[in-house]
Amino acid sequence: MQHGVTEELLEQVDHYDTSTLPEHQKLALRLADVYLSSPSGMSEELKQALLANFTSAEIVELLLHLIGWTRNKAMVALGLELDEVRHQVY
């Protein structure tokens, strides 16, 4: 594993709701789940918990990371390679 990631940590992330992870990490993972599955379905409870545990700037930073990590999802789903698309466009 890299950067201190262990199998135990990955198991906790997979089951974060019942894990011993700190609350702010669980909230960040909840935000990721909502962002990836149904952004418009974010509960008021989650919004309030995020605002109580993170600054607005920190929430924006988390969202920007999520956007960066997921920007290629549509291309992967379609089986497209960026270099092939660039070649066809230019």
pTM of the model: 0.76
8 Å CB contact between 19 and 27: no
Which parts of the chain sit beneath pLDDT 50?
none
Q: What pLDDT score was predicted for residue 88? A: 65
The DSSP string of 11-70 is: HHHHTGGGS-S-HHHHHHHHHHHHHHH-GGG--HHHHHHHHHHS-HHHHHHHHHHHHHHH
**Domain ranges (residues) in the chain:** 7-89
